[in-house]
A and B are shown apart, each in its own frame.
Chain A
Amino acid sequence: MLRGQVSIVNDLGLHARAAAQLVRLASGFSSRIKLLRIDNAVIADAKSILSVLTLAASKGVVLEIEIDGVDESPAFSAIESIFANGFGEM
């Protein structure tokens, strides 16, 4: 199991299209990928768009990621980089 933190860096935050991108990316891995928002106790499955949207994560929000499975390390770096490059909006 890998854990880490990512921040939302793009101006629009984790909006619907960004969330769809994230879900598409996450669904390509077999590992279980969870996103947690500590400040309001919301937990989301990165492979489900509705679940990701309930995070209501705007710019500056920090999310914890938890990845568990056989392909956890490539999944971790892929998820980390999609957040770091602001879903291609930077």
Chain B
Amino acid sequence: MQSRLPTISVRELVESVPAEMPLEVLAGQSGLENRKIDSPRIQKLGLALAGFAHYIHAGRVQVVGQSEISYLNQLEPERKNDALAFLDVDKISCILVTKGLDPPTELLALAAEHGIPLLRTPLVSSIAILHLTTFLHETLAPQMSVHGVLMEMFGIGVLIVGDSGIGKSECALDLIGRGHRLIADDSVRIKKIGTLIEGSAPELIRDFLEIHGLGIVNVREIFGITAIGKPKKVELAISLKRWDEFEAIDRLGIETQEEEVFGIKIPKFVLPVSPGRTIATLVETAVRIYMLKLSGYNAAQSLIAKHRTMVGS
């Protein structure tokens, strides 16, 4: 299982940032491709402009708001040039001017000369930073792919894993027939956002399912839009095992097992597969049990408590 820390170019930021945050490029178009962002954190350019210039973190968006603009504008022209000349231009990924302000011409000239993308948004700094960090946290989250099927069942992201040929996709088809939603078949892209993991389908195979004997099936075309789920937090894992590989069955279901996905532990049910066992029913029941446990009910413990009272111990 591999992971990576993605980076995006400033062009990708400009093109894929959500519509709530309009961005325009004022200068430095030549740096859109080669200047990269690799941190979701932003930095205010104020201190650097005031002379603490080596403190610029590469790979972050540099935000310039009202205070920076006012500071620059009250400087004598010579000091203004000095303030900008001190900046380490190689470390600046891009500059974002907020509140629709007009940057001083000297800043525009600097951006154009060194190919530093100078962006502008009409939003005020606080809102712009909120949108920007949310977007960057999601976009720059480390990701990996796992082999399995991701379903949305009762609003919960359920990851079904198991060896190839064990019937994960057939199980998914059964679950779709019962009104659950497919998110990804065979290859699930997992993103780690803080302490949660989010699963989605790689663009190429979104909506598709492969069923032995039927080939590639387009779930959206056959079952309609309600059969397809959006990227979802992965909360529960179901591991399908062949009966002969299945050791030490917990007949009571007291112990909670865990599956580690991308360093995050999530509860897991291990279900043995054999002819005559309807896997979809079992998976559906497992999810219901998980939901009951979340709300504080555990059937095994309840039975044990009743039994204890009965035998008087």
Contacts and interface: CB of A to CB of B under 8 A. Distances in A.
B165 A50 contact: no
Interface string B209-231: 11000001000000000000000
Nearest to A33: B164
Contact of A43 (B145, B163, B208, B209): B145
Interface size class of B (residues with CB under 8 A): 20 to 34
A43 B205 contact: no
B202 A43 contact: no
A27 B145 contact: no
B114 to A, nearest CB: 30
A7 interface: no
A38 interface: yes
A48 B147 CA distance: 9
Given A42-B145, A54-B145, A48 B2 contact: no
A27 B208 CA distance: 20
Contact of B186 (A32, A41, A45, A56): A45
Interface string A35-70: 010101111110111110110100000000000000
Q: Which of A38, A41, A53 has the most CB of B within 10 A?
A: A41
Interface string B1-22: 1111000000000000000000
Interface string B131-149: 0000000000001111100
Given A43-B145, A49-B210, A54 B3 contact: no
Contact of B2 (A41, A45, A51, A54): A41
Contacts of A45: 147, 164, 186-187
A48 B4 CA distance: 23
A43 B1 contact: yes
Of B2, B163, B208, chain A has the most CB atoms within 10 Å of the CB of: B2
B164 A48 contact: yes
Central interface residue in B3, B147, B204, by most chain A CB within 10 Å: B147
B164 A38 contact: no
Contacts of B164: 27, 45, 47-48
Given A36-B2, A41-B2, A43-B1, A50 B208 contact: yes
Contact of B143 (A27, A41, A51, A54): A41
Nearest to A20: B215
Given A27-B164, A47-B164, A50-B210, A41 B4 contact: yes
Interface of B: 1-4, 143-147, 163-165, 185-187, 202, 204-205, 208-210, 216
The 7 closest A-B pairs by CB, nearest first: A47-B164, A50-B186, A41-B4, A51-B186, A51-B187, A41-B2, A45-B147
